[in-house]
Structure 1
Amino acid sequence: MRMTDQQAPADFGRVDDDGTVYVRVGDTERSVGQIPDATEQEALAFHIRRYENLAAEINLLESRVNAQAMSPEDAKGAIKTAKENVETASAVGDLQALVTRLEGIEGKLPAQIEARKAAKAEANAEAIAAKEAMVQEAEKLGAGNDWRGGVDRFRQLLDQWKALPRVDRATDNALWQRFSSARTSYTRRRKAHFAELNTQRDRAKALKQEIIAEAEPLAASTDWGPTSGEFRDLMQRWKAAGSARRSDDDALWGKFRAIQDQFFNARTDAQQAVDGEQGENLTAKNDLLTQVTADLEGVTDVEQAKAIHREFLTKFSDIGHVPRGAMRDLDNRVRRLNDHV
């Protein structure tokens, strides 16, 4: 039974005349030590303190077990050790009560073991579900073509996988095999994709270099119409060639664009020069028409009128081309003049 106020530790011990100290455990008693030069009270007090220390250790053990601060397996070992310490303790007090307390603590362990098993099973099921979800996502990624985001996502999934607890070996190995296979398949396909992409980029680079080589002699051409058509064809081929590596593509495009700019800027300058000359021609022809109209006014002699008209036509023809948009109006004026003559 446990010690009460009526059963103080001293009630479980006595001291012989020779200083030997005894402790009573149930119906038996045993010697726990001898202090010859001490009084009875001092000898008992010394061994009672040992009992109190032992009881304090059991209190601490009970608190840890109640708080589940140690595993049931560790608790079982600690209880066994504590029982052995109580059974051989050189202490005076209710040792049987301490044994009873230890047995009560030990009686809590089966429930804790079962609770731990249930918690472990639940955690195991959650880990399996999490890994299964990760495997399914990995398999979807492995069959997809997200070559940029996929590699980052696989890295994240792998870190998450490592953070999860292991489950039973067979299940864990099977799930890992699926995950690893998906990642390996994705990695191989990704490498093949970029290898093919690099081949395409190299091919595009070679094609664009050929286009540039063909364009360079055209830059100085003054055959504006046909050369413009050739540049249009080259541009179509450029677009059809695809993309090279960015750094190469930018450099190649800059070179090709400069060649085009050289030709088309020259064509623009030439056209502007022609437009200026034709504008002057238009003014001259309008002035000539105004002049001949005035010269013919009042002329009744047919031969004289024809002579004036022939001289007009000669001068008109010598002036040269006018802007296309003004040709119809100018032709109509000349036709009316011809009809008049």
Structure 2
Amino acid sequence: MSSDPWGRVDETGTVYVRTADGERVVGSWQAGTPEEALAYFERKYEGLVVEIGLLERRVRTTDLAAKEAEAAIATLRAQVDEAHAVGDLEALSKRLDRLVQTVEERREERKARKAKQSEEAKAAKEKLVAEAEELAQSDQWRPAGERLRALVDTWKGLPRLDRKTDDELWHRFSHARSAFSKRRKAHFAQLDAQREEARKVKERLAVEAESLAKSTDWGPTAARYRDLMTQWKAAGRAQREHEDALWGRFRGAQDVFFAARGEVFAERDAEQAENLKIKEGLAEEAEKLVPVTDLKAARAAFRAVNERWEAVGHVPRDARPKVEGRMHAVERAIQEAEEAEWRRTNPEARARAAGLTGVLQDAVDKLQGQIERAEAAGSTAKAEKLRRELEGRQALLDQARKGLEEFSG
């Protein structure tokens, strides 16, 4: 007969394990010594210890689902309760009890984390809805439209909520976008109508201007042309495809008249030549403002030069395009500087660039964390796949950062 603290073998070869409820038969041994019998059943006990240890590690270090963990615990508990093994079976049961508690705690943690994520997603979507509803009333058609499209992309990146809440928020969001689209469509329809009306007015003005082109009644005709020009400016712009053609006809008719009048008033040639010298000097003065280094000062200086320019009379017809082109070139340079300054200081564009950089940075951080976990779990293939994805996201992040840096230039 042989025994140890957790079991014994009697003279018939029957093997017992000791428990809190007394001894229990776990098997018999006829092929060797009692010591060998105990060693055999103790090894079975050690096998259970290893399996429980592995499950404990999985629960602590992986995202093992609670249901899967509970099923594994139930299987091991049945094995412990019916174990043909010699060892401290009660200690194993207590470890399984503690593991059940751990699984429950992790379930609650996951539940709380999921609830928090849901609340955060809800808050984010409510914020998007509020902004969309505000943009729905905007008259800044292009920036507001671009921002609404960006909000849609942001919405798509957020997790879904419960169906009722998600549907209600999406309905508000979609309604705001539709309202903006309807207002924009109505605005441009009205604008088209106004441009069509302007076309009709300018068509009539061009016809009258052409009818006056050969007039020799210099004073009244010149006055009428000035009146027609006032009406032209007040009419607004026609459609682009008509505006230039109509202006060509209108201005061409004036040029014909004033050229004829210029021939009659040949004595004014000297005055026009002097005007040309003055305007060339003003053009040269304006050209010194380019390149624009101080936009505010350049704008004020050009305005002052232009006022003096407008005060100067006509110049010879053949010299007009060149000298006016010089002034127009300076004006375009200042306009381009204004547009560049607006783009650089545009808060909506800056916010979009900052938002995109933040989203990409979060994605890079998340991928790095996933790579570390994959490597820790020994999943080399998964880690390599994630690294390739990280390279792409990092490249996008670098581009986004460069774009954001432009706003601080």
TM over 0.5: yes
1:161 alignment partner in structure 2: 155
Structure 1 alignment gaps of length 5 or more: 1-5, 277-341
User: What residue number does 2:407 align with?
Assistant: none
Question: How big is each residue's C-alpha offset from its partner over 1:33-63, in whole Å with a ceiling of 9 and x where there is no partner?
Answer: x999x99999998987776565444333222
Q: What does residue range 50-89 of structure 1 map to in structure 2 within 5 Å? A: 55-67=49-61, 69-84=63-78
Letter in 1 for 2:122: I
Q: CA deviation at 1:243?
A: 1.4
Deviations 1:80-120 (A, max 9, x none): 34434555678776665444322211111333233333333
Match of 1:177 in 2: 171
Q: Give the number of aligned pairs.
A: 264
Q: 1:160 to 1:35 in 2, by over 3 A?
A: farther
In structure 2, C-alpha distance between the alignment counterparts of 1:252 and 1:23, rounded to whole Å = 112
Counterparts in 2 of 1:181 and 1:231: CA distance versus 1, 3 Å: same
SS at 1:29's partner residue?
A: strand
Match of 1:106 in 2: 100
* Structure 2 counterpart of 1:237: 231
Q: Is the 8 A contact 1:12 1:94 kept in 2?
A: no
Out of 243, 246, 263, which is 1:249 matched to? 243
Matches within 5 A, 1:217-296: 217-273=211-267
Amino acid at match of 1:145: D
Match of 1:146 in 2: 140
Alpha-carbon distance change, 253 to 80 in structure 1, aligned in 2, over 3 angstroms:
farther
Residue 28 (structure 1) aligned with residue 35 (structure 2): no
Match of 1:208 in 2: 202
- CA shift, 1:168, in A, is 3.5
* CA spacing shift, 1:28–1:181, aligned 2, 3 Å: same
For the 8 Å contact 1:25–1:96, the answer to whether it is kept is no
The verdict on how the C-alpha distance between 1:29 and 1:43 changes in structure 2, with shifts beyond 3 A counting, is closer
Residue 192 of structure 2 is aligned to residue 198 of structure 1: yes
Letter in 1 for 2:253: I
Q: More displaced, 49-58 or 75-84?
A: 49-58
2:140 is paired with a residue whose SS is: coil
How do residues 112-127 of structure 1 correspond to structure 2 at under 5 angstroms?
A: 112-127=106-121
The aligned counterpart of 1:288 is none
CA contact (8 A) 2:26 2:84 kept: no
Instruction: Tell me the distance in 1 between the aligned counterparts of 2:40 and 2:244.
Output: 94
Structure 2 counterpart of 1:122, one-letter code: K
Structure 2: give runs of 5+ residues left out of the alignment.
Answer: 271-409
Moved more, 43-52 or 195-204: 43-52
Equivalent of residue 137 in structure 1, options 120, 127, 131: 131
Letter paired with 1:226? P
Structure 2 CA distance for aligned equivalents of residues 239 and 68 of structure 1: 74
Identical-residue share of aligned pairs (%):
45
Higher relative CO (CA 8 A, sep ≥ 6), structure 1 or 2?
A: 1
1:30–1:42 CA distance, 2 compared to 1 (3 A): closer
Is the 2:210–2:249 Cα contact (8 Å) retained in structure 1?
no
Letter paired with 1:198: D
CA distance in 1, matches of 2:245, 2:233: 15
Bigger Cα displacement from structure 2, 138-147 vs 61-70: 61-70
What's 2:389 paired with?
Answer: none
Deviation, structure 1 residue 190: 1.3
Partner SS, residue 148 of structure 1: helix
The residue number in structure 2 matching 1:128 is 122
Letter of the structure 2 residue corresponding to residue 29 of structure 1: V
CA drift at 1:130: 1.9
Per-residue CA distance 1:120-154 (angstroms, 9 max, x = gap)? 33333322222222221111111222211111111
Pair 167,22 (structure 1): closer, same or farther in 2 beyond 3 Å: farther
1:160 counterpart SS class: helix
AA matched with 2:186 = A
- Deviation per CA, 1:250-295: give whole Å up to 9, x if none: 343234323322322332333224778xxxxxxxxxxxxxxxxxxx
Larger radius of gyration: 1
Superposed CA offset, 1:216-245 (max 9, x none):
232233322222122112212211221123
Tell me the C-alpha RMSD between the 2 structures: 3.8
d(CA) in 2 for partners of 1:258, 1:214: 12
Distance 1:31 1:42 in 2: 13
Match of 1:315 in 2: none
Partners of 2:7 and 2:38 within 8 A in 1:
no
Conserved 8 A contact 2:42-2:85: yes
